[in-house]
C-alpha cells in the first residue's frame, strides 16, 4: 500500500511541475516528487517482519531477518542531493525575485 | 483545460507504472512486490553477513571482531564502507551546491535584521540550547556506526543550532571563513584518506584500519573518522547555506 | 631522375604545386599565378605521355589509381581547359581579396578532377569528387555572390551524398570498392544496378546541371570569379558526364535493365534519364534566351548542352555514346573559350551585363572572333566540333525513334541560335557605349589560350576522327561496339558524315559571302549617342542599346512558366518553418511546457514498448 | 593504474581550493593537465578490460570502475576536451574554478563508473556544477528551467535504477546484464526501467523533446560553459547511453522502434532547427543536439564503433566551433552570422581552424568526420538498415548548407552581388585570439591527420574487430 501511495506522490509532484508557474511552487512540486521517489526506494527494501538494520544488544545476530539496508543508504544519498538542489533552486529563485520582483515565471520580462 | 490535460497525462504515466509493476503480462513479472523480498537474491545479504571479501556466516553484536566492516549499523556500513564512493559524491553535491548558493547570493552583505529586537531571554536561552544541540550533533555523528544517525543528520543538527543563533540574535554573524576552512579541510582529509588507502591497501577509499569488535565505540576502523569529517563538513556547509540566505546584499 | 612519371606522381606534384602556389602568392602575387599556369601544362604533358601505359595501376599511399581509356580522355580535356584558363589568373591576382587561397584552391580543384577520373576504387573517387566540390565552393564566393556558393554546395552535396549512399550500398552488396569490378557485378543484379544507376546518376546529373538540378549552374557560373567560370563550365561540369558514363556504360545499363520494360530501344529507367535530358535542353534554351547577364546566358546554355550529353550517354549505342563524348569535348572547348572571351571583356570593361556593352568588335576584334567560333560550335553549325557531336546524337535519336526527345533537341539547336546571337550582337556588334571608347585589345597572354581553344574547335570540326578514334577505343575498352569509320567519314546507321567534305562546301559558301560583303557598299559608322529625339539629346545609353528588350516577344510568351527555384525555396522554407516550430514548441523557457513534452514522450515510449 | 585518481584528484583540488581561495586557478590548471597526462598514461599502459573495485569490495558488492577500451576513449575525450576548453577560456574562470574542478571529477566518474547508483550520483554532481556554471551566462531564468528539468530527469533516472535494483538485487551494470542473460527476464518487464532511464538521460543528452532547457541556457553562453556542456557533458552522457544500451537495454521490438524514432526525430528536427537559426551559437547548439540524436540512434542499433566515431568527431569539431563562436561573440558583441561578414579575413589562423572543424563536422573526405560518417552509414548497411543511412545523408545536406553558409559569410566581406574588396571590410577586434587560434589550428591538424590516416587501411579499419573488441572488453557479457 505504501508503495502505491509513494508512486501516487511522485505523480502529484509531476502534476505540480506540469501545472505550476510560481518558482517556489515548482520547487515544492519537485520536492514532493523526490519524497515520493524516496519513499518508493525505501519501500523496495522492505522485508515482511524484518528488523531495522542495526545490530543492538537485543537483536544481536546477523542471522535474524533484517530489511534491506542498501535502499536506505541510497535514500540517504538521494535526500542529501535533494537538499543541495533545493538550496540552489531557492537561491536562484531569490536572485530572480530580486531582479524581476516576482516569483511568477510568466510575469518575468525578457525571453 | 490545461489542468485536465495534465491530470490525464499524469494518470497515463501512473497507469503504465502500475500496470508494469503490479499487473504485468504473463511471464513479465520480475518486480518483487512490497515486502515479498528475498534478501538472498540481493547483494545486501552479503552486507548483512559482512562476507563480501571473505567467508563469514554470522555477525554477533559485541563478539565478532576484525570483520571486513565493523559497524553495527548496517546502513552506515553501506554508506561509509561498502559504498563510500557514493558518499564522497554526495558530500561533493552538498559542497558544490553550498558553494553555488554562496556564489549566487554574494556581494557585500550584511545580516538581515528583524523588526523586533529579540529580548534577553531568547538571546541567552538560544545560546544555552545551542550548546546542547551541538553536543547532540557531535554525539550523532560520532555514534553513526552504532546507532541511527551519522554524519549527515549530525551535521544538520549543528547547522540547525547555528540557525537558532541567527534567528535569536540580530548581531550574531558566524565566521564564514572558518566554515569554509572546516569544510575544505574535512573534504580534503576524506579524499586524502581515500588516496592513502590506495597506498596501503591498493584500493581507493579502502577501510584500512582494524575494525575491532562490532558494537563498541572504537570499532569499525575508518567509519567513525569519516563520519566525523562528514558531520563537520555537512554542518559547515548547511550553516554556510543558512548564512547566505539570511543575509542581504548591501545596496550601494 | 629515377622517378618514373605515373598518376601518383602527377597527383602529388599537383598537391605540392598547390601549396607552392599558396606560398609564392603570399610573397609575390604574379609568381604565384604563374605556378597555376605551369602546373597544368606539366601535368598535361605528363598525362599525354602516359597514353601508352593505359591499363596500369598506380598507388599513392592508401589510394589506388588505374589509368583507363576514358579516364585518360576526361583528364586530357580537363587539363587542357585548366591549362588554357590559368593564363587569365595572372591578370586577376590584383582584384582578389584572397589571391593565395584562390591559386591553391584552383590547383586543388584540378587535382580533384584528375584524381576522380583516375581513381581505381569508389572511395578514391568520392574523396576526389568532394575535393572538387569544396575547393570550388570556396572559390565561388570570391566572386559576386556568397549565396551562389551555398546553392552550389547544396546541390553538390545532394549529388555526392546520393553517390555515397550508392557506393556503400554496392559495397554492402558486393564487398568491394573497386569501380570496374563492382559495376560489372552490379549489372547482374537488377536492384543493385537500379540503386547505383539512380544514386550515382543523381551525382552526375547534379554536376552536369541537368534539370531539375540545374539551378546552381547559372548562379555559380554567373557569379564565380571571371577566371573560374570557364573552369566550372568547361571543366568541372564534365565530371558529371564521367559519373553518368560510369553507370550507363561502364556498368552496362543495357544489360542490367534488359529485363525491364523497353521503351524506344532503351529501358524505362534510361528513358527517364533521357527525358530529364530533353527537359533540360528545353529549359536551358528558354532560360538562356532571356538572360541579360552574359555569363548567366552561357551558364544556361551549359544546362542545355548537358541535356545532350546525358541523352547520348543514356542511349548507350555506339553512335550516341560517341556523340556524347564528342559533345563533352566540343562543349568543353567552346564554353571555356566563350567564358574566356567574357573574362577578357570583363577584364577590360569591368562588366558582364550585355546592356552595358556593345560595339566591342572595333576594340577587341580577336576576342570577337574567338567568341564567334565558340558559339558556332555550341550551336552545332559546321564546320565546328559541336556540329559533329550533334549530328551523331541526332542520328542516334532518330534511329531509336525518340520523337519527343529529338524534337526537344532540335528545339534546343534552333533556340541556341537565338541565344548565342544575342550576346554576339549586344556585346560585340552594334555601337560602342561611350563608357568604352578607350577600351584596349585583350592582352597577349589572354589571347594565347583563347586562340588555342578556338583553333582546336575548328581543327576537330574538320578532322573529328582524331578524337573519335580515341572514343572508339574507349567504347571497345568498356565492352561495347566501337564507332565505325571510313577514311574521313563517320558511319552512322542510316547515313554517314564526311566532315572534311562539309568544310569544303562551307568554305566555298563562305568565300561567296565574303565576296558579296566586300563588293557591297559600306554603311556609315554612327556613334551610339549620335541621335536625338523630339529635338532633345538622349543621355541614357542603356535605352538606346541594341539588346534592350532584345527578345521581348519571346520573354512575354513564357513569363508565367513555372520557376524551378521556387520548388527548392519552398522546400527550404518548409524546413525552416519546421525548425522554427521545433525551437518554439520544444525549447521553451517555461519548465511546465518542457515537462509536458517529457511526460508525453514517456507515455508514448511506454505505450510503444508495451505494444 | 587506478582510474579513481582521475576523480579523486579534481575533488581534492576543489576541497583545497576552497581553503586557499587565491590558488584555485593554479590548482585547477594543474589538475586539468594532470588528468590529461594520467589518462594518456593509462591508455598507453592499457592491457585489458578490468573492473577496479573501490574500497576493496569486489563487484557486484562494492562500487567498481570499469576500465576498458570504451571508457578509455571516454576519459581521453572528456579530459582532453576539458583541458582545451579551459585553455581557451582561462580568463573566464573567475570564481568558478572550484565548480569546474568538481565537474571534471563528475564527468570522469560518469564515464568510468560501473555502478548504476554511483552513476546517478555523478550525474547529479555534474548537473549541479552545470547549473552553477550556467549562471555565468546571466540567464538565470533559463538556469532555473534547467535546474527543474535536470532534477526531474535525475529523479526519473533514479526511479528506473530503483526498479532495476528490485528486479535484480544488484546495482552493478555488468552484474545486472549477466543476471538478465541468466534469468531470462522478458523484454516486456524491462520496458518500464528502460524508458525511465532513457528519459532521465535524454534530458541531459538534450534529445528532442527532452532537452528543452538547452536553447535558453546556451544561446548566449560564453566560450567556457557552452563548449563544456556541448562537448564534455554530451560526450559523457552519450557514452553512458552506449554502455547501457549494449549491456542492460534488452528491448522489445516495439520499444526499440519507439526509442529509435525519438533519436532519429531528434536528428532530423534539430538539423531543421539549426537550419532555421541565424546566430552562430544557436546553429551549433542545435547541430550538436542533432548529432546526439544520431549517436543515440547508432547505439540503439548496436553500432558502437560508429557511434563512438561520430561522437568523437562531434566533440572535437564542436569544441573548436563553439569556443571560437563564443569567443567572437564575446568580443564583437554579436554572433549574428550576417553581422560577422569577413571576420576571418583578418584572423586567418582562427578561420582555418574553424573551417577545418566545420568541414569535419559535415563529414567531407580528408577530414575525420568522413571516417565517422562512412563508418556510420556502412555499419547501418551491414545491419540491413537501408532507410537510416538515407536519412543521415539527406540530413547531412541540410547540415552542409547551414555550415557552408556560415563559412562563406565569415570568410568574405563583400555585399551580395558585389565582388569582395578590401575597402568594404568591417573592422573586427578580438582580444587574445592568438592562444585560441593556435588551439584551433592544432585541433584542425589533428582532425586532418585523423581523417587521412584511418583511410590508409579503410577496409581493414572498417572490417576490423574493433567492435568485438569493445563488447569483449565489457566484462565478457
Point out the residue among D56, D125, D185 whose CB comes nearest to the CB of B89: D125
Q: What is the DSSP letter of D363?
A: T
pLDDT attached to residue D4: 87
Three cell numbers written together for B212: 575491532
Judge whether residue C2 has pLDDT over 50.
Answer: no
* Number of B–C residue contacts, CB under 8 Å: 18
Smallest CA–CA separation between B81 and chain D, in Å? 7
Smallest CA–CA separation between B13 and chain D, in Å? 10
Three cell numbers written together for B249: 546584499
List pLDDT tens digits, range D394-447: 999 899 999 988 888 888 777 776 776 666 566 777 777 788 888 888 888 887
* B39–A47 C-beta distance less than 8 A: yes
Q: How far is CA D375 from CA B103, C159, D344, D363, D379, in A?
A: 45, 19, 32, 11, 6
Three cell numbers written together for C556: 512575354
pLDDT attached to residue B132: 94
List pLDDT tens digits, range D348-371: 888 888 999 998 998 888 888 888
pLDDT attached to residue D474: 44
List pLDDT tens digits, range B237-251: 888 888 888 877 666
Instruction: List D residues 183-212 in contact with B (Cβ-Cβ < 8 A).
Output: 183, 185-186, 188-189, 191-192
Same structural domain for residues B87 and B29? no
Helix (H, G, I), strand (E, B) or coil at D64: strand
* A14–D159 C-beta distance less than 8 A: no
Domain boundaries, chain C: 1-120, 149-497, 571-610
- Domains of chain A are 2-47+68-107 (1.10.287.3510)
Q: Please tell me the distance from the alpha carbon of residue C239 to that of residue C229, in angstroms, as a whole number.
A: 15
Point out the residue among B25, B93, B96 whose CB comes nearest to the CB of D99: B96
Within a domain: B48: no
Beta bridge partners of residue A22, listed in sequence order: A104
Rg (CA), chain D: 22
Beta bridge partners of residue C60, listed in sequence order: C63
Percent of chain C with pLDDT over 90: 2
Q: Please tell me the distance from the alpha carbon of residue D101 to that of residue C479, in angstroms, as a whole number.
A: 68
pLDDT attached to residue D476: 41
Three cell numbers written together for C42: 606539366
Cβ(B204)–Cβ(B197) below 8 Å: yes
Contacts of C591 in chain A (CB under 8 A): 17, 26, 105
* Nearest by Cα to C273 from C352, C231, C210, C186: C210
* D215–C587 C-beta distance less than 8 A: yes
Q: How far is CA B94 from CA B100, B193, C17, C204, D237, in A?
A: 10, 19, 62, 62, 22
* A69–B104 C-beta distance less than 8 A: no
Note down the domain range covering B201.
71-249
Higher pLDDT, D113 or C143: D113
Point out the residue among A17, A37, A108 whose CB comes nearest to the CB of D148: A17
Neighbours of C147 (CB within 10 A): 17
Contacts of C589 in chain A (CB under 8 A): 111
Cβ(D433)–Cβ(D347) below 8 Å: yes
Helix ranges (H only) for D56-186 are 69-88, 97-112, 116-134, 140-168, 173-183
Point out the residue among A40, A81, A93 whose CB comes nearest to the CB of D144: A93
Judge whether residue C60 has pLDDT over 80.
Answer: no
Q: Please tell me the distance from the alpha carbon of residue D443 to that of residue D321, in angstroms, as a whole number.
A: 11
pTM strictly above 0.80: yes
Residue with cell 528502460: D194
pLDDT attached to residue C372: 84
List pLDDT tens digits, range B59-89: 888 787 778 787 888 888 888 888 889 999 9
pLDDT attached to residue B136: 93
What value does the mean pLDDT take over residues B218-233?
Answer: 86
Judge whether residue D126 has pLDDT over 90.
Answer: yes
| pLDDT, chain D, mean | 85
Q: Please tell me the distance from the alpha carbon of residue B117 to that of residue B123, in angstroms, as a whole number.
A: 10
Q: What is the DSSP letter of D279?
A: B
Q: Please tell me the distance from the alpha carbon of residue D321 to that of residue D334, in angstroms, as a whole number.
A: 15
At D238, the pLDDT band (50, 70, 90 cuts) reads: very high
Helix (H, G, I), strand (E, B) or coil at D52: strand
* D121–A77 C-beta distance less than 8 A: yes
Helix ranges (H only) for D277-418 are 280-300, 304-332, 343-346, 348-361, 368-382, 387-411
Contacts of A64 in chain B (CB under 8 A): none
* Nearest by Cα to C57 from C66, C45, C44: C66
Helix (H, G, I), strand (E, B) or coil at C178: strand
List pLDDT tens digits, range D451-477: 776 544 444 444 444 444 444 444 443
At A82, the pLDDT band (50, 70, 90 cuts) reads: very high
Looking at chain A, which residue has its C-alpha nearest residue B75? Answer: A69
Q: C44 CB contacts (<8 Å, ≥6 apart)?
A: C76, C79, C80, C83
pLDDT attached to residue D472: 47
Judge whether residue D312 has pLDDT over 70.
Answer: yes
Note down the domain range covering D352.
313-477
Three cell numbers written together for D219: 544561446
Contacts of D163 in chain B (CB under 8 A): 21, 31
Contacts of C168 in chain D (CB under 8 A): 374, 377-378, 381, 389
pLDDT attached to residue D152: 93
Q: Please tell me the distance from the alpha carbon of residue C468 to that of residue C486, in angstroms, as a whole number.
A: 12
What value does the mean pLDDT take over residues C587-602?
Answer: 89
Least confident of B10-19, C321-330, D259-268: C321-330
pLDDT attached to residue D456: 44
Cβ(D233)–Cβ(D126) below 8 Å: yes
Q: How far is CA C52 from CA C78, C120, C523, D385, in A?
A: 19, 18, 57, 45
Chains near D (3 or more Cβ pairs under 8 Å): A, B, C
Sign, Cα dihedral of B162, B164, B165, B170 = positive
Three cell numbers written together for B221: 576502523
At D198, the pLDDT band (50, 70, 90 cuts) reads: very high
Higher pLDDT, D460 or C564: C564
Cβ(D255)–Cβ(D268) below 8 Å: no
Three cell numbers written together for D225: 560553459
Question: Is A27 touching C (CB cutoff 8 A)?
Answer: no
Within a domain: B188: yes
Question: In angstroms, how far is the first alpha carbon of chain C from the final one?
Answer: 73
Judge whether residue C529 has pLDDT over 70.
Answer: no
pLDDT attached to residue C210: 86
Q: Please tell me the distance from the alpha carbon of residue D103 to that of residue D78, in angstroms, as a whole number.
A: 11
Same structural domain for residues B112 and B228? yes
Neighbours of C569 (CB within 10 A): 12
Helix (H, G, I), strand (E, B) or coil at C317: coil
Judge whether residue C245 has pLDDT over 90.
Answer: no
Instruction: List D residues 102-131 in contact with A (Cβ-Cβ < 8 A).
Output: 117, 121, 124, 128, 131
Judge whether residue B55 has pLDDT over 80.
Answer: no
* B183–D18 C-beta distance less than 8 A: yes
* Nearest by Cα to B193 from B75, B52, B91, B53: B91
Smallest CA–CA separation between B176 and chain D, in Å? 11
DSSP codes, B93-109: HHHHHHHHHHHHT-SSE
* C596–B10 C-beta distance less than 8 A: no
Q: Please tell me the distance from the alpha carbon of residue D356 to that of residue D317, in angstroms, as a whole number.
A: 8
Residue with cell 552486507: B47
What value does the mean pLDDT take over residues D241-270?
Answer: 89
Q: C139 CB contacts (<8 Å, ≥6 apart)?
A: C102, C105, C106, C109, C224, C225, C228
Q: Please tell me the distance from the alpha carbon of residue C88 to that of residue C90, in angstroms, as a whole number.
A: 5
If 0-12 CB within 10 Å is exposed, 13-18 middle and 19+ buried, where does residue A6 land? buried
What value does the mean pLDDT take over residues C79-94?
Answer: 81
At D69, the pLDDT band (50, 70, 90 cuts) reads: confident
What value does the mean pLDDT take over residues B110-115?
Answer: 68
Instruction: List A residues 39-68 in contact with B (Cβ-Cβ < 8 A).
Output: 43-48, 52-57, 59-63, 66, 68
List pLDDT tens digits, range C13-40: 888 888 888 888 888 777 877 888 888 8
Domain total of chain D: 1
* C610–B9 C-beta distance less than 8 A: no
What value does the mean pLDDT take over residues C354-375?
Answer: 77
If 0-12 CB within 10 Å is exposed, 13-18 middle and 19+ buried, where does residue C451 land? middle
What value does the mean pLDDT take over residues B153-165?
Answer: 89
Q: Please tell me the distance from the alpha carbon of residue A66 to that of residue A62, in angstroms, as a whole number.
A: 8
Higher pLDDT, B62 or C515: C515
> Chain A interface, mutation test: which of D106, D121, D140, D197, most A Cβ atoms within 10 Å?
D140
pLDDT attached to residue D251: 85
pLDDT attached to residue D37: 92
pLDDT attached to residue C554: 67
Residue with cell 563544456: D228
Q: Please tell me the distance from the alpha carbon of residue B153 to that of residue A77, in angstroms, as a whole number.
A: 12
Q: How far is CA C157 from CA C130, C569, D400, in A?
A: 9, 16, 7
Question: Is D163 touching B (CB cutoff 8 A)?
Answer: yes
Task: Report ipTM for this prediction.
Answer: 0.91
Least confident of C118-127, C414-423, C487-496: C487-496
Q: How many residues does chain D have?
A: 477
Within a domain: D369: yes
List pLDDT tens digits, range D291-311: 999 999 999 988 888 888 899
Looking at chain A, which residue has its C-alpha nearest residue D122? Answer: A81
Within a domain: D404: yes
Cβ(B204)–Cβ(D18) below 8 Å: no
Looking at chain D, which residue has its C-alpha nearest residue A99? Answer: D140
pLDDT attached to residue B96: 92
pLDDT attached to residue B251: 60
pLDDT attached to residue C543: 56
Within a domain: B205: yes
Looking at chain A, which residue has its C-alpha nearest residue B14? Answer: A11
pLDDT attached to residue C516: 85
Higher pLDDT, D431 or D178: D178
Q: Which H helix or E strand runs over A3? A: helix A2-19
Residue with cell 548496436: D302
What value does the mean pLDDT take over residues C303-320?
Answer: 84
At C560, the pLDDT band (50, 70, 90 cuts) reads: low
Domain total of chain B: 2
pLDDT attached to residue D462: 40
Amino acid at each position: 500500500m505504501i508503495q502505491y501511495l509513494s508512486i501516487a506522490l511522485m505523480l502529484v509532484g509531476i502534476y505540480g511541475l506540469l501545472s505550476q508557474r510560481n518558482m517556489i511552487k515548482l520547487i515544492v512540486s519537485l520536492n514532493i516528487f523526490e519524497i515520493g521517489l524516496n519513499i518508493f526506494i525505501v519501500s523496495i527494501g522492505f522485508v515482511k517482519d524484518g528488523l531495522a538494520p542495526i545490530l543492538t544488544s537485543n537483536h544481536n545476530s546477523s542471522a535474524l531477518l533484517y530489511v534491506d539496508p542498501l535502499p536506505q543508504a541510497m535514500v540517504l544519498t538521494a535526500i542529501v542531493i535533494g537538499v543541495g538542489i533545493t538550496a540552489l533552486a531557492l537561491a536562484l529563485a531569490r536572485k530572480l525575485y530580486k531582479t524581476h520582483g516576482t516569483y511568477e515565471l510568466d510575469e518575468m520580462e525578457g525571453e | 483545460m490545461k489542468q485536465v490535460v495534465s491530470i490525464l497525462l499524469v494518470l497515463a504515466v501512473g497507469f503504465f507504472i502500475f500496470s508494469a509493476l503490479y499487473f504485468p503480462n504473463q511471464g513479465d513479472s520480475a518486480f518483487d512486490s512490497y515486502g515479498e523480498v528475498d534478501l538472498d537474491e540481493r547483494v545486501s545479504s552479503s552486507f548483512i553477513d559482512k562476507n563480501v571479501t571473505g567467508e563469514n556466516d554470522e555477525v554477533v553484536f559485541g563478539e565478532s571482531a576484525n570483520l571486513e566492516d565493523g559497524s553495527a549499523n548496517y546502513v552506515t556500513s553501506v554508506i561509509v564502507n561498502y559504498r563510500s564512493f557514493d558518499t564522497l559524491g554526495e558530500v561533493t553535491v552538498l559542497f558544490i551546491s553550498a558553494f553555488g548558493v554562496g556564489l549566487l547570493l554574494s556581494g557585500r552583505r550584511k545580516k538581515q535584521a528583524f523588526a523586533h529586537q529579540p529580548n534577553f531571554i531568547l538571546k541567552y536561552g538560544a545560546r544555552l540550547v545551542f550548546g546542547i544541540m551541538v553536543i547532540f550533533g557531535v554525539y550523532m555523528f560520532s555514534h553513526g556506526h552504532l546507532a541511527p544517525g551519522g554524519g549527515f543528520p549530525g551535521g544538520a543538527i549543528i547547522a540547525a543550532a547555528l540557525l537558532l543563533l541567527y534567528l535569536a540574535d540580530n548581531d550574531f554573524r558566524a565566521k564564514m571563513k572558518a566554515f569554509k576552512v572546516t569544510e575544505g579541510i574535512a573534504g580534503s582529509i576524506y579524499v586524502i584518506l581515500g588516496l592513502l588507502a590506495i597506498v596501503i591497501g591498493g584500493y581507493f577509499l579502502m577501510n584500512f584500519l582494524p575494525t575491532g569488535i562490532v558494537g563498541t565505540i572504537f570499532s569499525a576502523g575508518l567509519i567513525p573518522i569519516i563520519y566525523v569529517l562528514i558531520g563537520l563538513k555537512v554542518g559547515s556547509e548547511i550553516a554556510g547555506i543558512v548564512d547566505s540566505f539570511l543575509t542581504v546584499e548591501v545596496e550601494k | 631522375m629515377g622517378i618514373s612519371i605515373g598518376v601518383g606522381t602527377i597527383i602529388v606534384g599537383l598537391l605540392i604545386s598547390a601549396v607552392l602556389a599558396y606560398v609564392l602568392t603570399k610573397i609575390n602575387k604574379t609568381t604565384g599565378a604563374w605556378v597555376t599556369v605551369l602546373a597544368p601544362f606539366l601535368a598535361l604533358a605528363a598525362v599525354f605521355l602516359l597514353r601508352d601505359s593505359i591499363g596500369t595501376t598506380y598507388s599513392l599511399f592508401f589510394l589506388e589509381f588505374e589509368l583507363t581509356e576514358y579516364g585518360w580522355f576526361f583528364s586530357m580535356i580537363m587539363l587542357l581547359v585548366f591549362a588554357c584558363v590559368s593564363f587569365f589568373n595572372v591578370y586577376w591576382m590584383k582584384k582578389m581579396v584572397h589571391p593565395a587561397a584562390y591559386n591553391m584552391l584552383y590547383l586543388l580543384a584540378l587535382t580533384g578532377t584528375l584524381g576522380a577520373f583516375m581513381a581505381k576504387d569508389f572511395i578514391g573517387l568520392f574523396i576526389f569528387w568532394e575535393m572538387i566540390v569544396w575547393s570550388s565552393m570556396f572559390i565561388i564566393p570570391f566572386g559576386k555572390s556568397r549565396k551562389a556558393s551555398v546553392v552550389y554546395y547544396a546541390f553538390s552535396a545532394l549529388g555526392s551524398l546520393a553517390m555515397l549512399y550508392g557506393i556503400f550500398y554496392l559495397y554492402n552488396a558486393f564487398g568491394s570498392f573497386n569501380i570496374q569490378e563492382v559495376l560489372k557485378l552490379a549489372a547482374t543484379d537488377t536492384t543493385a544496378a537500379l540503386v547505383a544507376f539512380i544514386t550515382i546518376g543523381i551525382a552526375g546529373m547534379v554536376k552536369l546541371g541537368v534539370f531539375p538540378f540545374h539551378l546552381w549552374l547559372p548562379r555559380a557560373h554567373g557569379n564565380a570569379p571571371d577566371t573560374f567560370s570557364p573552369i566550372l563550365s568547361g571543366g568541372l561540369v564534365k565530371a558529371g558526364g564521367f559519373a553518368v558514363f560510369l553507370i550507363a556504360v561502364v556498368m552496362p545499363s543495357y544489360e542490367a535493365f534488359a529485363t525491364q520494360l523497353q521503351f524506344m530501344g532503351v529501358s524505362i529507367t534510361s528513358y527517364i534519364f533521357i527525358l530529364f535530358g530533353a527537359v533540360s535542353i528545353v529549359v536551358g534554351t528558354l532560360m538562356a534566351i532571356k538572360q541579360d547577364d552574359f555569363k548567366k546566358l552561357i551558364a544556361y546554355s551549359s544546362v542545355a548542352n548537358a541535356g545532350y550529353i546525358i541523352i547520348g550517354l543514356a542511349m548507350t549505342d555506339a553512335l550516341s555514346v560517341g556523340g556524347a563524348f564528342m559533345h563533352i569535348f566540343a562543349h568543353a572547348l567552346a564554353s571555356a573559350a566563350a567564358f574566356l572571351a567574357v573574362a577578357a571583356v570583363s577584364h577590360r570593361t569591368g562588366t558582364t551585363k550585355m546592356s552595358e556593352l556593345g560595339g566591342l568588335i572595333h576594340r577587341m576584334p580577336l576576342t570577337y572572333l574567338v567568341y564567334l567560333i565558340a558559339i558556332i560550335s555550341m550551336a552545332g553549325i559546321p564546320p565546328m566540333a559541336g556540329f559533329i557531336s550533334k549530328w551523331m546524337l541526332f542520328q542516334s535519336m532518330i534511329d531509336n525513334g525518340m520523337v519527343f526527345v529529338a524534337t526537344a533537341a532540335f528545339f534546343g539547336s534552333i533556340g541556341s541560335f537565338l541565344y548565342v546571337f544575342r550576346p554576339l550582337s549586344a556585346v560585340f556588334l552594334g555601337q560602342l557605349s561611350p563608357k568604352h571608347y578607350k577600351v584596349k585589345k585583350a592582352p597577349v597572354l589572354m589571347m594565347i589560350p583563347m586562340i588555342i581553344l578556338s583553333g582546336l574547335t575548328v581543327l576537330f570540326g574538320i578532322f573529328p576522327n582524331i578524337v573519335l578514334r580515341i572514343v572508339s577505343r574507349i567504347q571497345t575498352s568498356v565492352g561495347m561496339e566501337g564507332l565505325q569509320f571510313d577514311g574521313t567519314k563517320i558511319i552512322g546507321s542510316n547515313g554517314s558524315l564526311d566532315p572534311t567534305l562539309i568544310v569544303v562546301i562551307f568554305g566555298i559558301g563562305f568565300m561567296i559571302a565574303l565576296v558579296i560583303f566586300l563588293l557591297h557598299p559600306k554603311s556609315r559608322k554612327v556613334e551610339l549617342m549620335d541621335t536625338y529625339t523630339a529635338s532633345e539629346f538622349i543621355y541614357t545609353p542603356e535605352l538606346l542599346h541594341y539588346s534592350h528588350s532584345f527578345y521581348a516577344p519571346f520573354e512575354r510568351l513564357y513569363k508565367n512558366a513555372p520557376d524551378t527555384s521556387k520548388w527548392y525555396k519552398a522546400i527550404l522554407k518548409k524546413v525552416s518553418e519546421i525548425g522554427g516550430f521545433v525551437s518554439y514548441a520544444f525549447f521553451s523557457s517555461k519548465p511546465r511546457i518542457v515537462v509536458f513534452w517529457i511526460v508525453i514522450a514517456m507515455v508514448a515510449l511506454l505505450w510503444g514498448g508495451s505494444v | 593504474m587506478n582510474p579513481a585518481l582521475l576523480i579523486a584528484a579534481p575533488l581534492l583540488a576543489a576541497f583545497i581550493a576552497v581553503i586557499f581561495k587565491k590558488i584555485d586557478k593554479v590548482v585547477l590548471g594543474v589538475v586539468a593537465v594532470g588528468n590529461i597526462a594520467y589518462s594518456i598514461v593509462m591508455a598507453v599502459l592499457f592491457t585489458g578490460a578490468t573492473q577496479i573495485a573501490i574500497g576493496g569490495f569486489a563487484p557486484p558488492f562494492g562500487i567498481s570502475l570499469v576500465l576498458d577500451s570504451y571508457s578509455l576513449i571516454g576519459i581521453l575525450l572528456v579530459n582532453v576536451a576539458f583541458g582545451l576548453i579551459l585553455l581557451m577560456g582561462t580568463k573566464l574562470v573567475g570564481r568558478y574554478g572550484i565548480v569546474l574542478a568538481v565537474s571534471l571529477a563528475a564527468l570522469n566518474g560518469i564515464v568510468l563508473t560501473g555502478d548504476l547508483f554511483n552513476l546517478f550520483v555523478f550525474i547529479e554532481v555534474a548537473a549541479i556544477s552545470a547549473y552553477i556554471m550556467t549562471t555565468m551566462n546571466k540567464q538565470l531564468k533559463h538556469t532555473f528551467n534547467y535546474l527543474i528539468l535536470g532534477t526531474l530527469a535525475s529523479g526519473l533516472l533514479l526511479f528506473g535504477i530503483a526498479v532495476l535494483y528490485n528486479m535484480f538485487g544488484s546495482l552493478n551494470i555488468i552484474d545486472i546484464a549477466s543476471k538478465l542473460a541468466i534469468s531470462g527476464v522478458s523484454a516486456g518487464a524491462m520496458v518500464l526501467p528502460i524508458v525511465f532511464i532513457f528519459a532521465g538521460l535524454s534530458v541531459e543528452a538534450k534529445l528532442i523533446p527532452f532537452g528543452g532547457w538547452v536553447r535558453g541556457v546556451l544561446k548566449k553562453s560564453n566560450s567556457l560553459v557552452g563548449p563544456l556542456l556541448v562537448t564534455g557533458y554530451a560526450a559523457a552522457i552519450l557514452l553512458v547511453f552506449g554502455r547501457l544500451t549494449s549491456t542492460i537495454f534488452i528491448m522489445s521490438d516495439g520499444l526499440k522502434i519507439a526509442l529509435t524514432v525519438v533519436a532519429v526525430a531528434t536528428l532530423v528536427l534539430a538539423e531543421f532547427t539549426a537550419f532555421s537559426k541565424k546566430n552562430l551559437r544557436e546553429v551549433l547548439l542545435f547541430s550538436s543536439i542533432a548529432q546526439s540524436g544520431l549517436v543515440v540512434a547508432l547505439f540503439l542499433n548496436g553500432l558502437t564503433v560508429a557511434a563512438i566515431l561520430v561522437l568523437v568527431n562531434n566533440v572535437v569539431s564542436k569544441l573548436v566551433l563553439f569556443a571560437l563562436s563564443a569567443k567572437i561573440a564575446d568580443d564583437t558583441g554579436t554572433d549574428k552570422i550576417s553581422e560577422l561578414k569577413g571576420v576571418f579575413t583578418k584572423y586567418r589562423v582562427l578561420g582555418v581552424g574553424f573551417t577545418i572543424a566545420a568541414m569535419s563536422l559535415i563529414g567531407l573526405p580528408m577530414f575525420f568526420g568522413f571516417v565517422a560518417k562512412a563508418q556510420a552509414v556502412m555499419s547501418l548497411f551491414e545491419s540491413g538498415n537501408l532507410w537510416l543511412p538515407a536519412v543521415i545523408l539527406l540530413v547531412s545536406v541540410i547540415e552542409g548548407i547551414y555550415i557552408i553558409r556560415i563559412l562563406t559569410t565569415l570568410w568574405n566581406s563583400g555585399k551580395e552581388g558585389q565582388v569582395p574588396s578590401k575597402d568594404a571590410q568591417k573592422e573586427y577586434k578580438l582580444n587574445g585570439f592568438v592562444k585560441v587560434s593556435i588551439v584551433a589550428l592544432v585541433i584542425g591538424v589533428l582532425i586532418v591527420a585523423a581523417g587521412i590516416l584511418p583511410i590508409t587501411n579503410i577496409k581493414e579499419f572498417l572490417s576490423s574487430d574493433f567492435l568485438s573488441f569493445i563488447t569483449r572488453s565489457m566484462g565478457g557479457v
